[in-house]
Structure 1
Amino acid sequence: MILHIMTLEKFTPLFIHFVEENIGCRGHKFVFITSKRFQYGLEEKDNAEFLHTDADFCKLRNYMFEAEKIILHSLKRDKVHKILRLEPALLAKSIWVMWGGDFYSPSSYNNDHLYVIKNVPYMVNILDEEITMVQRIYGCKGKHIRTFFYNTTLYSPKSITITKKKKTPLHIMLGHSAVPENRHIQYLEVLKQKDDGQFIVKCPLVYPNSNEDYKVQVIEKGKSLFGARFEPLLEFMPLDDYLLWMETVDIAILPSSRQHGMGNLVNLLGSGKKVFIDDSVSTWSFFKRLGVSLYSLEELEFTALNNDIAADNHKTIAGYFSKERLTRDLKAIFDLRLGEELELDMVKHDR
């Protein structure tokens, strides 16, 4: 049995559905470390289990001993880390699917969390740069499995249209979520300096729910600078609807100061949008290595991509972030013999 230890986020139910539809869930057990709730498309029929009480963690520990492999979908639950530190045999069969919140704030993690990062035998991440970072900061010993893991990072266009006639108003997407790392206030002011009255600012602020005060600040600032031309997105959308929403974007400004919003980047670039990001973040060098054209925040201006560049981006993204690749990679991870290396992808850099 492969045990998936998960937190309930907008993309984790979609992962379960992808595995069911393309590989099959027989031999997999999906456990959410939370009270019972059905959100983001998770349904009773998905047969996920919810564990959160002290008695539940005794049950979880038993599941972990029964499992052939343990897949840690992020490191968000301290009680899980404690079990793994106390039971080295359990950690030895664990695979860590890395989320940014797991490792970008070293001073905020307790000793159990740090122990798991350092000693987990496998780390799943598409970005070599982040592996290099955790090796340097935490002394990680785990083997790198290079893949994007979640189907929300697939390129999933409803239609492919790369026609770039000048249009007004331009639709500019700012940020991908309500996290302060997106620097919304700063870049709303930058946009105001360039304002010719011919663009609309579309601003996804759906998650996380914990940042309500920050959302209010961004909305107030956007409305004060742009009035009705500032359009915050505040309600959760199913993935297909969100992809259609992104199709209306002409230019995207994603100024996060660390790697964030990979699925947004993939679908914007694949759809021929002009995308501006911080050139110091790990995704910048990854996409450049892949041969994709994107632009630094210092180059910010309001012209669409050249048709040929847009077409090249589409071809590269569609070929790389495909359902076939993800299905192949997940099967390889699920079939992995513990202790072996797993080389899945050749887009890498010398460390």
Structure 2
Amino acid sequence: MDLALLSPFFIESFKKISDDSVFYILSDSGFEPDYVDNSNVFALNTSSISDISEVVSNINKSSIDCVIFHFLNREKEEIANKLQKEIKKVWCIWGHDLYNQNSFFPYRQYEKITEEYLNKNSSLKDRIFKKQLVKKIIFEFLLFNKKIGLNSKFHARYYESFGVDKYLTIQSFDAISFIVPKEGLLISKIFPDKKYLHLYSDPTLPFFAHFETIKPNSKNILVGNSAAFTNNHLDTFNLIKDYSLDDRKVIVPLSYGGTKDYIDTVIKKGRELFGENFLPLIERMPLKEYSELLRTCGVAIMNQRRQQSGGNLFHLVGSGVKVFINPNNGFYDYFKKNRISIFSVEDLHESEINNIQPLTQNRQAILDLYSHDHFNNEINKLLKILGK
């Protein structure tokens, strides 16, 4: 069996499914020459029409019987639509490809203050189009237009931006792999005829391998994982603005995601509320240095309403950090159900962040949750879908 179109992060994981797996890594920014070190790994440029055509041709001419699409973007949709019908297709959800690129899955991602910021910087038309009910109505109207054959350039533009093309592409898939069960439950209501998998669970993935118990007296506070709006930084600051911080730092990673205006707004508000206690990370740090900084944090506040930053969460939880998560985030219920000590941002108050003890029991709990047995079970589900 061959598997194609996976991100490099999961190559080693999916090699376990088959020794003759083939991987196509698609990017518009190129790769380091030494990154692709396997004869079955091919790096291609998505800005090149010939490269995309090459992927389609190679797969259709080969004995490949299954293609796994990790992060389903426009280029991969194009490839999926051109594959032979007998080839099985699996969509591995990442996050942005589910929550940000369609209108058939309307999901509220922002808390009140962040939403106010985004609306303030949006036109009236954009604010109207962002409303979930409006998006759903427009999506249904466009889907009807697509089905009756209206395919002008005008229509094509909106078919893509409102997720109609993606919806129809996913209809042709055989299975969908979610990151958290809540995600699978929600999307199964839209695509009830698909098989559902949890392939994001290999215990040998990097973020399970480097748990380091937090340092004694670690008391700094980590807020979010990036500059993406979905971190709801401004709302989080509002939750802790009156806390007595003493000498502890409020550490906020802002080195990627978001816009310059949003990053500037977050930094300005952080300095206004926390003064010298505020530490924005605006440049990427070497992994070792970043890990050492995380070890000074006894508390992390992840106020994303949707599944996001799984790798960071696993590292923090496995290292014993006291993590507060937005209860709408699918990781919250999943962790709670599986005996991992996690806390809701709705229960956040000053006494909670002053009472910090490393939650060392979480290390084994998360390793039990993402076990070899669990991952092998998901692989067996995939093999059954393929009739293996």
What TM-score do you get using the length of structure 2 for normalisation?
0.72
- In the TM superposition, residue 109 of structure 1 has moved relative to its aligned partner by 4.1
AA paired with 2:254? L
**Partners of 1:118 and 1:140 within 8 A in 2:** no
- How far apart in 1 are the matches of 2:387 and 2:297? 44
- How far apart in 2 are the matches of 1:149 and 1:280? 21
- Matched residue, 1:303: 354
- In the TM superposition, residue 15 of structure 1 has moved relative to its aligned partner by 2.7
**Partners of 1:243 and 1:267 within 8 A in 2:** no
The partner residue of 2:191 within 120, 139, 142 is: 139
AA paired with 1:71? I
**Partners of 2:322 and 2:342 within 8 A in 1:** yes
- In the TM superposition, residue 2 of structure 1 has moved relative to its aligned partner by 2.2
1:265-291 Cα offsets, whole Å, 9 max, x none, are 222112111111111221111011111
**Partners of 1:175 and 1:253 within 8 A in 2:** yes
Query: Structure 1: where are the runs of 5+ without partners?
Result: 7-11, 342-351
**Partners of 2:59 and 2:83 within 8 A in 1:** no
- Matched residue, 1:193: 242
Q: 1:178 to 1:74 in 2, by over 3 A?
A: same
Q: 1:213 to 1:64 in 2, by over 3 A?
A: farther
2:30 is aligned with 1:45: no
Q: 1:298 to 1:337 in 2, by over 3 A?
A: closer
Q: 1:155 to 1:244 in 2, by over 3 A?
A: farther
- How far apart in 2 are the matches of 1:83 and 1:161? 45
Number of equivalent positions: 321
The partner residue of 1:313 within 362, 366, 375 is: 362
- Matched residue, 2:176: 123
- In the TM superposition, residue 158 of structure 1 has moved relative to its aligned partner by 4.9
**Partners of 2:207 and 2:312 within 8 A in 1:** no
**Alignment root-mean-square deviation, CA:** 3.2
Q: 1:4 to 1:278 in 2, by over 3 A?
A: same
**Partners of 2:31 and 2:43 within 8 A in 1:** no
1:112-157 Cα offsets, whole Å, 9 max, x none, are 3112323311111242211111122x33422111242466574233
- In the TM superposition, residue 24 of structure 1 has moved relative to its aligned partner by 9.6
**Partners of 1:117 and 1:140 within 8 A in 2:** no
- How far apart in 2 are the matches of 1:288 and 1:172? 22
Q: Sequence identity, in percent?
A: 25
2:93 is aligned with 1:73: no
Secondary structure of the structure 2 residue equivalent to 1:48:
strand
Query: Structure 2: where are the runs of 5+ without partners?
Result: 104-160
The partner residue of 2:342 within 294, 315, 319 is: 294
Alignment of 1:223-238 (within 5 A): 223-237=271-285
The partner residue of 1:32 within 9, 15, 25 is: 25
Alignment of 1:1-351 (within 5 A): 2-6=2-6, 12-16=7-11, 23=16, 26-35=19-28, 37-38=30-31, 43-46=35-38, 47-52=41-46, 53-65=48-60, 66=62, 67-76=64-73, 78-87=74-83, 89=85, 92-105=87-100, 106-107=102-103, 108-136=161-189, 138-149=190-201, 154-160=207-213, 170-208=219-257, 211-237=259-285, 239=287, 241-301=289-349, 302-306=353-357, 310-321=359-370, 324=372, 328=376, 332=380, 336-340=383-387
- In the TM superposition, residue 171 of structure 1 has moved relative to its aligned partner by 0.5
Secondary structure of the structure 1 residue equivalent to 2:80:
helix
- How far apart in 2 are the matches of 1:48 and 1:125? 25
Q: 1:294 to 1:149 in 2, by over 3 A?
A: closer
- How far apart in 2 are the matches of 1:24 and 1:127? 21
Instruction: Provide runs of 4+ in structure 1 moved above 6 Å.
Output: none
What TM-score do you get using the length of structure 1 for normalisation?
0.79
